[in-house]
Amino acid sequence: MTVIGDRRFERTLDRLVREAVPGTSFEAWTFDDRESRLRAERILAARGVSARIRSAYKPLVHAFREEIDLAGVRRIELGYPVRPEAPSNRFRLEAYPLAALVGDRPLDMNPHEEGTLTYRLRLHRVDGIEEREVFAPNRLHRDEGGALHLSPTGWLRPAGEIEGARIATDYEAIFEAALRLVADHSFAGPEPFFEELGILVTLPAADEPLGVAHEASSLREALHEDLYFSLLAHFGRRTGRPVGDRRLRPGQIVPEVAMGPDITLRIEFRPFAPTLPAPAEEESVETAREPLSPEIVARSLERIGGERMLALSRAGRPVEARYHRGSDAAVLISGGQHANETTGTIGALRAARRLAARPGAHFTVSPLENPDGTEVHRRLRALDPAHMHHAARYTGFGDDLEHREPNEGDGEETVRRMAVEGSGARLHLNLHGYPAHEWTRPLSGYVPAGFAQWTLPKGFFLIARHHPGWERETEQLLDRVTRHLATMPALVAENRRQIALYERHAGETGFNYRNGWPCLVSAEARAGLPVTLVTEYPDETIGGTAFEAGHAAQMEAVLAAYEAWQEIMALA
């Protein structure tokens, strides 16, 4: 284990308290949870300082939670800023999930182009109209690659000053120090550069549930996301790869942002972590309310039976599939390509159990394609089960296995190749997920670069990719699968809720609809099989009954697609 940096930071709230002069007053915006900010205000008040300390992260949402009384408010008009340095809907996104927080009150959101970083509110109360402004402190800056960002920042406004000025906060300092330490380190040899690069952070910031579905204000989760994707981009630049190239192979980058009383940063190289033991008691596959351990997945595959296909991950962990040879048209079923998307693994297993009992069934099931990412996910979930943990997304190499070139070796992707060659399948059912709550990168422009369309949940939807000449079969498949999914009332209702809230804050979804079901369709010659149906369930972070509903929906999609494919191929 090699340490390349170990630092402590003074807390911004402590500095504000230390530097305050009795008899003065000020407003400040920091990256701290509500209780910490209130505690600092009380300490300052005891010293004769009048202070109002607000959240620099999602300031409008926190203003509605902490300062704006909605009693007697019948309608709300919101003017949000538009700046040329950011997407036009940036501050409308930052207001998420306000449209749900205000209940049944009409909320009219319209841009204002005054150039000021201020939300303008008109609250229509029973006794008149109240007008107020909510400041959203931001700074313009360039990242290591030269891209310009407009990002939330700390701010201090002493009494009597109209503007105030930016203050560099502890939160921003952690991020900048981590990037600088890695950038200054010399990495020898070709990719991958390490087994695991651990970025260990402690931060005294509690998550604050927002009272809307799975939404919470989480500074620790946001920092994890910013650290992971910014460091991934750094290694992309270091190796000269195009922006967003998923073939990048630095190794596993793992930020662990834990709750703690002090603000600390430690960066170290570590070997692959050993596989965690299975829980003493684990729920059955059919009713699981949280992700399954690899041991349970392996046992479930053994019960499904069929010919065993095996490959090894970079860390030497097994990647297992089972091939059921039959007279039907063959189908490849996979899950767990991105290890923090967990309903697909269980949905694949549940569907395969049912198909295995069907006479003539012909399929391969590979439910856990990324075991190295899975172990990172299990470790991170032990810290915070409600966080997205995108550091677990890719493999032990740090790449996305689906984007590997055919001649890159015998890794996790080998199982897919064996399944296609052995079965002759022409349909791939590839089960995925995405965040079940808002995904932000506040220190890099707020909206996740390269993933803007995934920043808010928008229901369970399907992505169909096909080779040229397979348009008809693809449309027939979508028609049959969506007709089945549309018969599930709870799933339909949740889709409508999420899509409606998405459209209020983000705009059009970009979906095409089949039988009222959201879909995206494209012709792609590089796809491995003639037709690929990707499921996208908003499952990152969910648990309990919501998780159970998620893998049930994945199973239903697989079974409907398998049945539809038999009909389509019989008529071909």
pLDDT at 526: 79
Pairing of the two strands 512-514 and 531-540: unpaired
What gap in Å lies between CA 282 and CA 460, rounded to an integer?
A: 26
The average pLDDT across 218-227 equals: 98
Q: List, for residues 377-390, the tens digit of each pLDDT value.
A: 999 999 999 999 99
Contact criterion met (CB below 8 Å) for 476 and 570: no
The average pLDDT across 460-485 equals: 97
Domain locations along the chain: 9-169, 172-270, 294-571
Contact criterion met (CB below 8 Å) for 32 and 200: no
Residue 199 is given by DSSP the state: E
pLDDT at 188: 84
pLDDT exceeds 70 at position 408: no
* 334 C-beta neighbours (distance < 10 Å), count: 25
CA 443 distance to own-chain centroid:
16
The average pLDDT across 352-369 equals: 98
Higher local confidence (pLDDT), 540 or 279? 540
- Lowest mean pLDDT of 121-130, 399-408, 437-446, name the range: 399-408
pLDDT exceeds 80 at position 407: no
The CATH number that domain 294-571 falls under is: 3.40.630.10
pTM score: 0.96
Residues 6+ apart with CB under 8 A from 540: 340, 341, 342, 388, 389, 433, 434, 435, 436
The average pLDDT across 316-334 equals: 97
- Average pLDDT of the chain? 96
CA distances from 118 to 66, 92, 138 (A): 17, 12, 10
Q: List, for residues 30-76, the tens digit of each pLDDT value.
A: 999 999 999 999 999 999 999 999 999 999 999 999 999 999 999 99
The average pLDDT across 409-436 equals: 93
The average pLDDT across 449-462 equals: 96
The average pLDDT across 7-12 equals: 98
pLDDT exceeds 80 at position 572: no
pLDDT at 179: 98
pLDDT exceeds 70 at position 406: no
pLDDT at 1: 77
